Amino acid sequence: MKPVRFDYARPADLAAAVALGGRGDAVVKFIAGGQSLGPMLNLRLVQPDLLVDITAIAELKRVDQTADALILGSCITHADIEDGRVPDVTGGAMRAVAAGIAYRAVRNRGTVGGSLAHADPSADWISALSALGAQAIVHGARGERRIAVESLMTGVFESGLEPGELLTGVEILRLSPSARWGYYKHCRKTGELAHAIGAYLDDPERGVCRAVIGATGTRPLVFGDAAALFGGGAPGGAIDRGFAERAMAAHGMADAIEQQIHFACLRRAVAQAHRA
């Protein structure tokens, strides 16, 4: 099958893209890497009147560093991160996550912003960046706003972006040198979207201990204070399985086998982080 006929625009600046995105008289879709949208167009699951290609907007390729954070433009690709073409403030955590996404051809074109906006529960960045406590930067007709990545996804392929809003960047806080990170993705074949994800960050210098159970079938399950997972013991010790299972059940994950697979991923992420 081929896409429906649509108009195509490739604006060079953010204001023009936001203006096109806000057109109320047409179905407008942004396209970044096209790795998820392309197949959806071909299957006519998406039938836009206008496709706005955002890859010529320099601001969406920006890389800004402050003393304690890194801002990456939304059109930074997975391969940019994997290859270290952008700075890393996470001690290699983001590079490793990027390298585990799909295969090289997808990573060359797929973007971090496209992945977040697409809101696929099984995708890597939505879980990894939730665990890292990142912020999404969004621009629309009413200007700029920020959304915590952990709150960005509202459901399956549904995000908190309003119609016409463009995700323009992601702010990632710099980890302390002593921070510990673990990320474990379960999938049947290397390069597939995840069946289950465990992500864990322990950064005591910043007073941060976070964990995520991802690929839950909906938005990630985030433990903003992951110390609670350890049943009163030190972070990195045995996880209170009952606590984790109750949290998964409350998140809509009732199936015991799914709980077991997701719990195993979380346990492996924690073990990875606290490996000597």
Ligand X SMILES: Cc1cc2nc3c(=O)[nH]c(=O)nc-3n(C[C@H](O)[C@H](O)[C@H](O)COP(=O)(O)OP(=O)(O)OC[C@H]3O[C@@H](n4cnc5c(N)ncnc54)[C@H](O)[C@@H]3O)c2cc1C
Q: Which residues bind ligand X (CB under 6 A)?
A: 29-37, 54, 74, 101-102, 106, 109-111, 113-115, 117-118, 120, 123-125, 161, 166-167, 192-193
Measure the CA–CA gap between 70 and 91, rounded to whole angstroms: 13
Measure the CA–CA gap between 96 and 104, rounded to whole angstroms: 13
Instruction: Please state the closest distance from residue 28 (CB atom) to ligand X, in A.
Output: 9
Residue nearest to ligand X (CB): 110
Q: Would you call 25 exposed, middle or buried from its count of C-beta atoms within 10 A (0-12, 13-18, 19+)?
A: exposed
Q: Would you call 250 exposed, middle or buried from its count of C-beta atoms within 10 A (0-12, 13-18, 19+)?
A: exposed
Instruction: Please state the closest distance from residue 57 (CB atom) to ligand X, in A.
Output: 9
Query: For residues 88 and 120, which CB has a smaller minimum distance to ligand X in the complex?
Result: 120
Query: For residues 182 and 214, which CB has a smaller minimum distance to ligand X in the complex?
Result: 214
Distances (CA, A) of 235 to 101, 182, 273: 28, 13, 10
Query: For residues 186 and 206, which CB has a smaller minimum distance to ligand X in the complex?
Result: 186
Instruction: Please state the closest distance from residue 193 (CB atom) to ligand X, in A.
Output: 5
Instruction: Please state the closest distance from residue 48 (CB atom) to ligand X, in A.
Output: 9
Measure the CA–CA gap between 122 and 117, rounded to whole angstroms: 13
Query: For residues 37 and 244, which CB has a smaller minimum distance to ligand X in the complex?
Result: 37
